[in-house]
Structure 1
Amino acid sequence: MHAITKILLVILLGMLPYSLLAQKKLMFFQTDWGNQLPMDEFLAKVKSDGYDGIEVWMPGSDEARATLKNGLDKYGLKVIFLNGTNKSLPFEQSLRAYEKGLQEIIGWNPVKINNHTGSDFWTEEQNLEFLKIADRLAKASGIPIIHETHRGRFSYTLPAAVSMLEKFPELKYNLDISHWMVVHEKLIQKTDSQLQKIMPSVEHIHARVGFAEGPQVNNPAAPEWKNALKVHLDIWEEIIRNSDDETFTITTEFGPPPYLPTIPFTNKPIADQWEANVFIMKAIQERFAND
């Protein structure tokens, strides 16, 4: 390319909106947390509402696994599987069960595997052993294996997540920042210096809005949660736009009761879980609508 042409191209690129320079494809996954529908009906609803796939734990029975596999094929949906550390087992047994679970999931060739890893009662060195197993299997299989920021796990606080990343730079996170909002009793801003340290390692997002006193607002569409919603959207957008991944995965993860508040004595939910998840998907899509 001629030198002058190169200079003009650089100038023109500099004048273009950032969104046009860094277009992202967003893939949305619906959680099956709290689902009471038959699998076929659930998957049909997922597809109808515009999701690309679902995030689920591996079913326990062969029959349930076959039903899931057939349904995913039928509706053209992708899957992210959850895997976790069994904290009720002794450490060594838990390590073996963790690895076995990952190996079973890898055979399905999912988009990603999201882990509830380790325990806040174990040492950093013990929790690191789980990360090493996941990293080894991820490299061998080519399937991204990520670790969710979650209460009760090694990543139960933002400083703990930063500390582990410094010890194990290969670590990749699924950011569910709603947990840290309540753990730290504040709305953590995207400019937070600690949060900035882990943002580049985030490869998946659990999109749920938390607040200083809980991991889930009662209804993200309610005007009283406008600021909390904006804080979360600002964080998610910055992570997605700065990610090297051309396709970024997001699971909408508002949960059922008791995560979802209920009316006393009746246990009737005060909002609709499904509607909350669809709302948050659309809110994220709006942030990228002009890309």
Structure 2
Amino acid sequence: MHQFSRLLLAIAFISISFNSIAQKQVLFFQTDWGNELPMDDFLAKTKADGYDGIEVWMPRSDEAKQKLKEGLEKYDLKVLFLHGTNKGLPFEESLKAYEEGLRYILTWKPVKVNSHTGSDFWTLEQNLAFIKAGQKIAQESGIPLIHETHRGRFSNTLPATLEMIEAFPELRLNLDISHWMVVHEKLIQKQDPFLKSVLPHIDHIHSRVGFAEGPQVNNPAAPEWKHAVEVHMEIWKEIILNFPEDTFTITTEFGPPPYLPTVPFSNVPIADQWEANVYIMNLIKKHLND
């Protein structure tokens, strides 16, 4: 093939790739992790900064639940609920509580449920019991259930997650790859063969930037983290580009102290958590539109 023909093919492929990204609708969710604002103020600020919804744990009190429900309607925001396995209970009790909690959450009709599932101290079969039980309940509701890649859970490492995918090929995941960056002590690249086997199972992203020695860089806008941000961005774009549905969801999840480093002897954060989340949302939007 002539060099000019190869160039035309390359340009055509790039054009198709960017058009595919442009056609995707990406919904962004703000985390309430570390939030100290009253619910109405938190939701108002979330809406003003351009988010489509929030990701939260189900409130415990009836009053807090009512405020959340009213606020979501008032500001026209979607909700993605967190749910999880209680590792402090015996296995059978924990499984029963997990099922009951999931059934209640699904009555709220969230966009998705993001699950902190199982324990890295339990067997594959025990963790699989949670996944199968959750899948059955979620399928009955028609609402997607996704399992977060997270330290301390069944998905605490990349190989452990692949093992679960082999045991349960229908597994759908929320990729928070910042956990794996620190667990494996390296910036995992998009081309990693283990990661490539996981990517088709990703339905949601937590867009926090980790590095080889920690799950969260101190400020994603700082130039010293440029390479780490780029590595994460390449992975996120790969997932969004190849996602088979028209709408993809992302939660910006830079966390508060101690995830966010503080000044010694003061406990004062060295950066702003909210600004970091808005920054990474806008950076993702820019990359998808370039």
| Short-chain TM bin | over 0.9
Matched, 1:230 2:224: no
- Per the alignment, residue 118 of structure 1 pairs with 118
Which residue number in structure 1 is paired with residue 244 of structure 2? 244
The residue that corresponds to 1:261 in the other structure is: 261
Equivalent residues of 2:32, 2:55 under 8 A apart: yes
Aligned residue identity for 1:248? F
Give TM-score, length-normalised by structure 1. Answer: 0.94
Unaligned regions of 5+ residues in structure 2, if any?
1-11
1:171 aligns to what?
Answer: 171
Letter matched to residue 18 of structure 1: S
Identical amino acids, percent of aligned pairs: 68
Deviation of 1:194 after TM superposition, in Å, equals 0.4
Encode CA deviations 1:111-168: one digit per residue, 9 max, x unaligned.
Answer: 0000000000000000000000111012111000000000000000000001100110
- Report the equivalent of 1:4: none
Code of the residue aligned with 1:254 in structure 2: it is F
Residues 93-117 of structure 1 show CA distances to partners (whole Å, capped at 9, x for unaligned) of 0000000110010000000000000
Q: Does the CA contact (< 8 Å) of 2:149 and 2:174 recur in 1?
A: yes
Residue 55 of structure 1 aligns with an amino acid whose one-letter code is E
1:45-194 superposed matches below 5 A: 45-194=45-194
* AA in 2 matched with 1:259: Y
Match of 1:39 in 2: 39
**Aligned equivalent of 1:17:** 16
SS at match of 2:30: strand
Q: Give the structure 2 partner of residue 211 of structure 1.
A: 211
| 2:81–2:114 Cα contact (<8 Å) kept | yes
Contact 2:260 2:270 in 1 (8 A): yes
**Contact kept? 2:17, 2:241, Cα under 8 Å:** no
Q: Which residue of 1 aligns with 2:288?
A: 288
For 1:21 and 1:269, how far apart are their aligned partners in 2? 39
Per the normalisation by structure 2, the TM-score is 0.94
Q: Which digits, 9 at most, give the CA deviation of each residue in 1:46-86, with x for residues without a partner?
A: 00000000000000011100000000000000000000000
**Structure 1, gaps ≥5 residues long:** 1-12
Choose 19-28 or 63-72, whichever is displaced more.
19-28
